[in-house]
Amino acid sequence: MKKAVIVAAGAGTRFLPITKAIPKEMLPLLSRPLIHYIVEEITASGISEVVFVIAKGKEVIADYFLPAPELEALLEAKGDLIHLEDIKALPQMSHFSRVYQSAPLGLGHAIAAARSAVGDEPFGVVLPDDIIDSTTPALQQMLDVYRRHPGSILLVEKCGADEVHRYGVIEGETIGRGIYRVSGLVEKPKAEEAPSNLAVIGRYILEPDVFGAIAATPPGYGGEIQLTDALRLLLKTRPVYACELKGTRYDTGEPGGWLLANKAWAEKGGKH
C-alpha cells in the first residue's frame, strides 16, 4: 500500500472561535502541529504518498509541508542550523498532494473526493482528530492484519456504554487475537442498540471497491454520506475486518482530549 488519505476538511466547530482562523489540525502538540504527527505515523508505517482532503480556506494544512526558501535563507543567515534542518525535512517526509471536498457532506463524501488521487489500489484513511501513541504505528498494525486478511480493515477500540453513541460500532466474530471478521456496522447507536463495545476510530484501510459502495450510498445520519453505511453495503460482497488498537488514542478534535495529549507528550519529554 503506497497511499494514505488524510481527511481534514471539517470546520472544527468544537474548537471555535480559534478554528475560525486556524484549522484544528494546525493546533500545537507541544512545538509541532497535530498534522505533523499524523504524517509521521503514515511514513513510519511505510506509506510513501499522502493525499490531503481539505476544504477551501484550509490550505495551510498542506502548505505546512511545502519548501520555504525564504525562511531557510533567514535561518541559515542566523546560523540556526537546528531549525533549518527541521524546516528542510518537512517536504521530504512524503510525496504530498491535495484535493478539495466541495461541501461538508460526510466522511464517505470526503473519501470519494480522493478517488482520482488514489486510483485502483488499496489505500489508508486517517482522521487527524485521533492522535495515537503506540509502539507500533497504528497504520502498521492494520497493515499487518491486511497481509493476513486481505479486505477493508477498520481500527477499533473498546468503549463504555456511555460512549457508543459517538461512534460507529461493529458486530462480528473473533478470528484472532484482537482481530474480528465484521458482519455488521451501526452508526452512533443508542447504548441498548449497540451490537458490541468495539468502536471504530480514525484509521481505515480501504480497497477501491469502496468507491462504488459510496456512490450507491444515500445520505444517512445527519444528512451526510456516511462511510459506515457504505461499508455496510460493501459487506454484502467483500470481506471487512477489524483490528483492535494496541496503544493510547487521544481525541484531539475536542479541547479536553487535546489537553490530555499535550500533557502526555510533555510528561515523556516530547518523545513519542
Whole-number Cα distances in Å, 126 to 7, 8, 142: 6, 9, 12
Q: Is the pLDDT of residue 122 over 90?
A: yes
pLDDT above 90 coverage of the chain, percent: 86
d(CA 160, CA 173): 19
What pLDDT was estimated at residue 189? 86
Q: Which helix (H) or strand (E) holds 65?
A: none
- 271 — pLDDT class (breaks 50, 70, 90): low
The one-character DSSP state at 188 is S
pLDDT digits (tens, 9 = 90+) for 129-155: 999 999 999 999 999 999 999 999 999
Which helix (H) or strand (E) is 143 found in, with range? helix 138-148
Band of pLDDT at residue 193, cut at 50, 70 and 90: confident
pLDDT band per the 50, 70, 90 thresholds, residue 222: confident
Q: Does the structure show a pLDDT above 90 at 8?
A: yes
Give how far Cα 154 sits from Cα of 11, 50, 99, 182, Å: 24, 19, 23, 9
Greatest pairwise CA separation for the chain in angstroms: 64
In this structure, the number of other CB atoms found within 10 A of the CB of residue 142 comes to 23
pTM: 0.94
Q: Place 67 in a pLDDT band, splitting at 50, 70 and 90.
A: very high
pLDDT grade for 114, boundaries at 50, 70 and 90: very high
pLDDT of residue 270: 61
pLDDT band at 80 (very low <50, low <70, confident <90, very high): very high
204, three cell numbers: 481505515
158-174 confidence digits (pLDDT tens): 999 889 888 889 999 99
